[in-house]
Amino acid sequence: MSDVPILPLTKALTIATSDSGGGAGIQADLKTFAAFGVFGLCVVSGVSAQNTVAVTGLELLSPALVTSQLKAVFEDIGVDAVKIGLLGNAANTLAVASFLGSLKPRPPIILDPVMVSASGHIFLDDDAVKALVSLLPLTTLITPNLPEAKALTGLDIQRDDDYIKAAEKIISYGATRVLVKGGHASGPEARDLFFGPEGPNWISAERVNTPNNHGTGCTLSSAIASALARGESLEEAIKLAKLFVTGGLKNSIVLGQGPGPLNHFFHFYNFGEKVHGNA
């Protein structure tokens, strides 16, 4: 029997909320880290009661406990990349911003500005959205989908010029680079705008026709963080993440009575019968 190769240990941290349905949130992030061969660490900001149909409850941890988790991870283990998801309120958001802002050096930080669930549950009030903006100067990349970009900028995003205007406005809040995701648009391709000091760069992938897309945004942002932890450039990390999400959607999972999750481990196995024509 040959020796098992010893890989360099890379570590990614998710700061987010637990999803009891297992398809999004911290659960999706940790699955993504594992699929990329990255050791996953987590700081829990909240615990949600949700399934494929609805979010029925959400309780948030205290800012003190969120900060304690961050200290525990960074002081002992260290982190090569950070993904931030749903923090839930202004207090936890400001606590995370304060801790990450004190880090020198600071690892790459990917912010997925989760504001509303796919089932329509609104997660953040106005104060929490304002606090979220305070995180932008610390981020390597923010990854809003079209509804989130509209909530952040007030702009209705339809045409290519609208994407650019929205990205420019988010940059004006202090972000360095933005990925405005076009998954909510239509067309044969899922086109995202990667925007920063270099100007606009459109990154496309095949649009997958499946109702089972729960956790897509969480997965994309944590896949970008995983690739950055492994040493990829930001543009290459985005491209790898989009390919990963495409594969997960092509082999997505029928689970529960609503939209199921994508398959984070499609490289290794599928669950039950393939039901999607483009799988």
Q: Is a pLDDT exceeding 80 seen at residue 273?
A: no
- Residue 208: inside a domain: yes
- Residue 107: inside a domain: yes
For tokens 């899922």, the residue is 190
- Residue 278: inside a domain: no
Check which CATH number belongs to the domain holding 193 and give it: 3.40.1190.20
- Residue 255: inside a domain: no
Total number of domains in the chain: 1
What is d(CA 32, CA 248) in angstroms, rounded to the nearest whole number?
10
- Residue 4: inside a domain: no
Q: What is the pLDDT of residues 159-217, one digit of tens each?
A: 999 999 999 999 999 999 999 999 777 778 889 999 999 999 999 989 999 999 999 99
- Residue 90: inside a domain: yes
| pLDDT score at 115 | 82
- Residue 28: inside a domain: yes
φ, ψ at 274 (rounded to 5°) = -70, 130
| pLDDT score at 2 | 61
| pLDDT score at 117 | 65
| pLDDT score at 279 | 38
Q: Helices marked H in the chain — which ranges?
A: 25-35, 63-76, 90-101, 126-133, 146-153, 160-172, 216-229, 234-250
**Domain span at 226:** 11-250
Confirm whether pTM is higher than 0.75.
yes
- Residue 274: inside a domain: no
Position 192: which residue type? D
What is d(CA 81, CA 110) in angstroms, rounded to the nearest whole number?
8
Q: What is the pLDDT of residues 67-76, one digit of tens each?
A: 999 999 999 9
